[in-house]
Structure formats: structure tokens, C-alpha cells
Amino acid sequence: MNKKSIRDIELYGKKIFLRVDYNVQFSGDRILDDHRLRESIPTIQYLRDKGARIILCSHRGRPAGQIVEELRNDLVAKHLSSLLGTVVKACPVSIGPQAQDDTDALEPGELLLLENVRFHAEEEDNDDVFAQQLASLADIYVSDAFGTAHRAHASVVGVPKYIPGVTGLLLEREVEYLTKVTDDPQKPLGLVLGGAKVSEKLSILSFLSDRADVICVGGGIANTFLAAQGIDIGGSLAEHDRIDDAFLIMRKAAERDDLKLVLPRDVVISDPSGEIIEAVSVNRIPPEFRILDIGPETIDDFRAALAPMSTIAWNGPMGFFEREPFDVGSLAVAKILADLQNVTTVVGGGETAAAINRAGVLEDISHCSTGGGASLQLLEGRILPGLEALPDK
Ligand code: ADP
Ligand code: MG
């Protein structure tokens, strides 16, 4: 990557404003998924080893400029402390005299987590004065909040206007892997696309269909493709105003010898009451039944189509994976990716990452992104404001 990183600068004794994405959920005091915290540790350790004084900043949820008690960052600080085995102090504010005193008091290697930055409406408004107030706490801005890099908010793009900005190790890794898919990928390139809405996936489809050799489509978005084939999809969700777009992609694949589009051959359906659940051919969907997952033959098709790939990107679950047994297709795709050897596998999307975790194969995936919207934006070939805000090497 051509951006300056923490490896390129002097860090000892410097106050670092480290923007991370700790937008995590709790059930009571228990954190539900700490993937994002764990992924930020290499940067934190690097900065500590170099004797930097670390001021962490993150948002949580959508407090819309208000103080929301459940969205305070103190539980995050506590969990991070236990992961790091060292104290991470929680500051009850993000700016102002107490933030100044607490950050001034940091010794080299010490950590402080500022309060949820979205308690200030100025954060999402990308207010310059607010950005300046945040920047005044530190000497250097380090961006590691990949999950928020597609947002032009004050702590993402504003702060590095006032103090020098560099990337952290997570941001660097995210961009490195996601651009392995978009920029000159090791061919053949496969794309597995799912999720609920085809309208949200048209940009990635149109961008990657010019680069990919194989595109496997599952999930709710496949319904629109099936409908475009003239198949009766019963009571399944489909975007009927996107049938033309699906048709265009199918035509592109039909015209190009070097692009294979794999659509579901069979699907798992359920009746409205949820009592009947069965796998059927896509040509045998009774009225009112809904498609909720890809079927076993389709899983086999995807496995066979993906086997020769050198690079594979996956975004979007293959079905309504939050509910058993409609998670079978997504877990199978996770396993297919994990079992491939010498293939660069890149997974993006919040729910897709959850499926990888549920399948227990995180270790066997080359890169599972911490960002949903941001990873999609990169896979669509678009730039990220949070990256643009940082100076080149
Ligand atoms: P990601 O967060 O990984 O980018 P999306 O947000 O695009 O993924 O899509 C995830 C959602 O799509 C999940 O909530 C899942 O239940 C839903 N989904 C996928 N396939 C279907 C389907 N056939 N019917 C209903 N919902 C589906
Ligand atoms: Mg999602």
C-alpha cells in the first residue's frame, strides 16, 4: 500500500490518536463477538513496544449525538484490558479538559479509551472544530478503523487534517487483501455472492464480473436471478424491479466464454407456517413456499466451480442463516473456502463474517474482513474516504 504506516515513523513518547472500530455488542456484561478487538491487537502491541502513549477512539451503535448509557465504552475498555493483560483506562468523555488531563497523564506504553465518539453529533457531521478538539489530544493520528473507513466522519477524515496521519496494521492488512481481489488478482478469480438484496450487490457484480472467472450466486439475491430465468419462485423474496439487471448479468455471462455464472439448481424451501422444510429443484417450488437456503446439489456445484480458483472473494450468506436449518448452505460455503489449499480466500460483510465464525473456520481463511460496508465498497472498486484522508508515502 502506498500510504504511510506506523512502521514509517518515530513513535517513542508520542501521543497517538488510534481510531479503531470497536462497534461491538454486549449482552449484559458479556461481549458477543470480540473479533474486532482481537484484530486491533497487533497495532496496539506494536505501538506499546515502541513506547507510544495510546489514546483509543471508537464509536458504538447509533446514539445520534446523545449520551446513551448502554453505548458507553467502559465495558469495551474492560474487555480489551483482559485481552491485552494490561489496564486500559476508560475516559468518560471524548474531548475537553478531562480528556486533556487523562491523555496528558499517559506514560509510554499506556492506554486510554475515549468515550463513544458518536455521543457528539459533530462526529457524523464531520465538524471541523470537533475534529480539531480531538486532534489537540495527540501528536499523531493512526487509522485502524477499517469498518468505519467508508464514513467521512470527524474522527475518520477530520482529525488527520490537523495532525499527521498514518495507517495501522489492521487497515493495511484489510486493504492489502481486499485489493488482491480487485487489483490484478491471481487468476482464476471466483466470487461467491449472497445476501438479501440484489440491489445492494449490483455494483460489486458489475465491477467484479469484468474480473472474475466464476460467480456463484446464492442467498436471497439468487431469487431475482431465478425469476429472471422465468422460474416460478413462489412466495420468495425477490426484487422485481431488478430483474432487468439480473438478466443483463446473465446475458454477459452467456456471451463470455471466460465467465461462468453458477445459479442455484436446488433450494431449501419452507411453507409460511414453517412446518414443512425441504430441498427441491428450483422448478418445483409450490406457491407460497419461500426459498430460504441453497440446496445440496447447488452446494456441490459451487464446490466444483470454485475448486480450480486461485483467489476467491465471498460476500453475503447463502440463506436465512440466522435460523437453523437454513444455515447449512452458508456453513458449507465457509467449509469449501476453508478446505481449499493455496487459494487466497477473502471474506467481507458483517453477516458473512458471522457465518465464518459460526463454522469455526476463521483460521483457515486468508482474510476475514472486520468491515461490512467498507469491504463491499472496496470490492466495488470504490475508494474509502478514511484511506483518502491519509497521506501517501
Ligand atoms: P453481509 O452483512 O455479510 O454483507 P448481507 O447484509 O448482504 O450480508 O445479507 C445478510 C442477510 O441476508 C442475512 O440477514 C440473511 O438472513 C439474509 N438472507 C440471505 N439469503 C436469504 C434468503 N434466501 N431469504 C431471506 N433472507 C436471506
Ligand atoms: Mg449485512
Contacts of 62 (CB under 8 A, 6+ apart): 118
The pLDDT value recorded for residue 1 is 82
C-alpha cell of residue 77: 475498555
* Pocket lining: 311 vs ligand 1, CB cutoff 6 Å: no
Nearest protein Cα to ligand 1, atom 9:
195
* Pocket lining: 220 vs ligand 1, CB cutoff 6 Å: yes
User: Which of 197, 252, 260, 335 is an active site residue?
Assistant: 197
Residue 291 Ramachandran class (φ > 0 left, ψ -120 to 50 alpha, else beta): beta
The pLDDT value recorded for residue 204 is 95
* Pocket lining: 326 vs ligand 1, CB cutoff 6 Å: no
- Cα three-residue angle 160-165-168, rounded to 5 degrees: 125
Give average pLDDT by consecutive 10-residue segment, the chain, 393 residues: 94 98 95 92 98 98 96 98 97 98 98 98 98 98 97 98 98 96 96 94 93 97 96 92 94 94 98 94 95 98 98 97 96 98 95 94 95 94 96 93
pLDDT tens string 164-189: 999 999 999 999 999 999 998 999 99
Instruction: Report the distance separating Cα 116 and Cα 93, nearest Å.
Output: 8
* Ligand 1, atom nearest to 292 Cα: 23
Answer for the pair 209, 250: CB distance below 8 angstroms, yes or no: no
- Whether cis (ω within 30° of 0) applies to the bond prior to 188 is yes
* Ligand 1, atom nearest to 348 Cα: 3
Domain 185-379 of CATH type 2.120.10.30? no
Nearest protein Cα to ligand 1, atom 10:
195
Decide if 350 is catalytic. Answer: yes
The pLDDT value recorded for residue 237 is 87
* Pocket lining: 270 vs ligand 1, CB cutoff 6 Å: no
Answer for the pair 169, 144: CB distance below 8 angstroms, yes or no: yes
Q: Which of 17, 56, 16 is nearest to 36 (CA)?
A: 56
* Ligand 1, atom nearest to 322 Cα: 16
- Neighbour-count burial for 283-311, b at 16+ CB within 10 Å, e otherwise: eebeeebbbbbbbeebbebbbebbeebeb
Domain boundaries, the chain: 6-169, 185-379
Decide if 85 is catalytic. Answer: no
* Pocket lining: 147 vs ligand 1, CB cutoff 6 Å: no
Residue 351's identity, in one-letter code, is E
* Ligand 1, atom nearest to 196 Cα: 12
Instruction: Report the distance separating Cα 355 and Cα 102, nearest Å.
Output: 39
Instruction: Report the distance separating Cα 150 and Cα 377, nearest Å.
Output: 7
Domains 6-169 and 185-379 share a fold: yes
Instruction: Report the distance separating Cα 141 and Cα 156, nearest Å.
Output: 10
Decide if 53 is catalytic. Answer: no
The architecture CATH gives domain 6-169 = 3-Layer(aba) Sandwich (3.40)
Q: What is the Å distance from ligand 2's center to 316 Cα?
A: 7
State pTM to two decimals: 0.92
* Pocket lining: 101 vs ligand 1, CB cutoff 6 Å: no
Decide if 381 is catalytic. Answer: no
